[in-house]
Amino acid sequence: MADIDTLLGRAWHDDAAWDLLTRLTELDERMGGHPGERRAAEYVAESFEDGGVEEIEIEEFEMNRWDRGRAELAVTEPVERSFETLALPYSAAGEVSGELVDVGYGTPDEIEESDVAGKIVVASTTTPPEKGRFVHRMEKFGHAIAAGAEAFVFANHVPGQLPPTGALRFDAEAAAPGVGVSKETGAWLSDYAERGARAKLSVAADTEPGTSQNVHGTLGEGEEEIVLLGHYDAHDIAEGALDNGCGISVVAGTARLLSEMDLDCRVRVAGVGCEEVGLIGAGALADSLDLESVRAVVNVDGAGRFRNLQAYLHGSERVGELAGSVCREWGQPVSFSRDPHPYSDHWPFLQRGVPALQLHSEAPSGAERGRGWGHTHADTRDKVDRRNLREHAMLTALVVRELTRSELPRIDEGELRERLQESDAEVGMRAAEVWPDHWE
């Protein structure tokens, strides 16, 4: 095995992660269940093999493939005016006419205070800071439809004529049509809503049975393992560089380093499909493994985008202690978020007791809250600094190595439920239809 200092020194000028990111972002699309996603899986497998990962498999799983089709949105009264819009994944097909109502941020309180029954709801992509946790798009949609709304319009809070995308529910057709519009369009719709305007929204989209795939292999030996994963799929409206080309490229770069490190247990390295449409690949992977032998899952979703690493602990203080000690030892800053959430690929593991670490990166000071360029046409490779890919791969490898050496207590189901309830997440998870059935 290579000396750590020598290994990390070589990593400073290793562009393998950048090369994978480039190949992925050159594809026309990587939408879950579509041909481009399959090609992306092959690229990931090639990168893993080049990095020393062994026993690589590409395993198919069933899912519901969604085809975007077309979407149209127009104000019909007091003026007639059409706006650019995008259907949101798993939007139902159909045509809706009705009064526009602006529910602000789309929090449960705002929706409850508004008369949305039979109307077309407009909600912002962001959440007010005083809310505390970020209110997910699926929650806003779920609350609006439960209150009687006929359709949902998701208005970006980031300027630049960037209508956002993002799934309305996981792996199944939603209960109503939903679309995304730009911040600029959202401002017009809010203005028209104040004047009692009416609008017409139509979506022609299809949801039908399909298949996707996971790529995974192993490093090291042992009966127990750490699962290191990132999703390689992306929404079909952009290159998917930030979300999550960066993350899966960091995973590939991490694997190259781990292949030359002493590991105290096996590491399963995985690229999972269909995260953007329901964490379906991660769920299939979790179902295929003996989770009693999985010490922890490290979900790289968001790392590599910005300069400083951010760690979501999802209720595991021990994992946080280990990640923090590694970053301090190597003189690298890391910020922590401790509350669990169910909206990334750690969730199928976490809800079944596996300690989870999600590696993200901290947006620059002054950046607007939310996804930024993610889930829009602007999610392109030029936003990425290849140095962040290298550094985050190095830190991830060092953290994973430390996890292989450590005893990690399982996540207690009751405590996880309590933490989700204390952070006001349960009501939103129920609205989004992601509260686990076995918790009922």
pLDDT tens, 125-161? Answer: 999 888 778 899 999 999 999 999 999 999 999 999 9
Same domain, 202 and 133: yes
Q: What is the pLDDT of residues 92-104, one digit of tens each?
A: 999 999 999 999 9
Query: Which pLDDT value is given to residue 366?
Result: 53
Boundary residue ending a domain (164, 193, 208): 208
Same domain, 408 and 349: yes
Same domain, 47 and 74: no
Same domain, 33 and 130: no
Query: Which pLDDT value is given to residue 369?
Result: 60
β-strands 86-87, 308-312: how paired?
unpaired
DSSP class of residue 327 equals H
Strand segments, DSSP code E, in 35-193 are 54-77, 81-83, 86-87, 94-102, 120-124, 151-155, 178-181
Query: Is 440 domain-assigned?
Result: no
Specify the CATH number for the domain of residue 85: 3.50.30.30
Distance between CA 189 and CA 82 in Å, rounded? 11
Query: Is 432 domain-assigned?
Result: no
Instruction: State the chain's mean pLDDT as an integer.
Output: 95
Q: What is the CA radius of gyration of the chain?
A: 21
Helix (H, G, I), strand (E, B) or coil at 241: helix
Query: Which pLDDT value is given to residue 336?
Result: 95
Same domain, 200 and 214: no
Q: What is the pLDDT of residues 20-42, one digit of tens each?
A: 999 999 999 999 999 999 999 99
The helix, strand and coil proportions of the chain, stated in percent and rounded to the nearest 5, come to: 35, 25, 40
Same domain, 97 and 166: yes
Q: Are 190 and 159 in contact (CB under 8 A)?
A: no
Distance between CA 43 and CA 242 in Å, rounded? 17
Domain that holds residue 174: 66-208
Distance between CA 370 and CA 378 in Å, rounded? 14
Distance set, CA 411 to CA 60, 229, 287, 356, 406 (Å): 29, 19, 18, 9, 15
Q: Are 152 and 176 in contact (CB under 8 A)?
A: yes
Mean pLDDT, rounded, for 395-400: 98
Query: Is 427 domain-assigned?
Result: no
Task: Please determine, for residue 401, whether its predicted confidence score (pLDDT) is greater than 60.
Answer: yes
Other CB atoms closer than 10 Å to residue 84's CB: what's the count?
Answer: 15
Mean pLDDT, rounded, for 292-311: 96
Number of domains in the chain: 2
Same domain, 152 and 275: no
- Between 232 and 367, name the one with better pLDDT: 232
Boundary residue ending a domain (154, 185, 208): 208
Instruction: Find all residues with CB under 8 Å of 37, minimum gap 6, and list them.
Output: 29, 30, 31, 212, 213, 232, 233, 273, 274
Distance between CA 279 and CA 275 in Å, rounded? 4
Boundary residue ending a domain (208, 224, 249): 208
Same domain, 97 and 86: yes
Same domain, 272 and 413: yes
Same domain, 348 and 285: yes
Query: Is 429 domain-assigned?
Result: no
β-strands 178-181, 151-155: how paired?
parallel
CA–centroid distance for 330 within its chain: 28
Same domain, 185 and 302: no
Mean pLDDT, rounded, for 81-91: 98
Residues shown for the chain: 440
Distance between CA 340 and CA 319 in Å, rounded? 13
Put simply, whether the predicted model's pTM sits higher than 0.85 gets the answer yes
Query: Is 386 domain-assigned?
Result: yes
Mean pLDDT, rounded, for 377-385: 97
Same domain, 73 and 184: yes
User: Which residues make beta-bridge pairs with 201?
Assistant: 73, 96
Specify the CATH number for the domain of residue 373: 3.40.630.10
The amino acid sitting at 323 is A
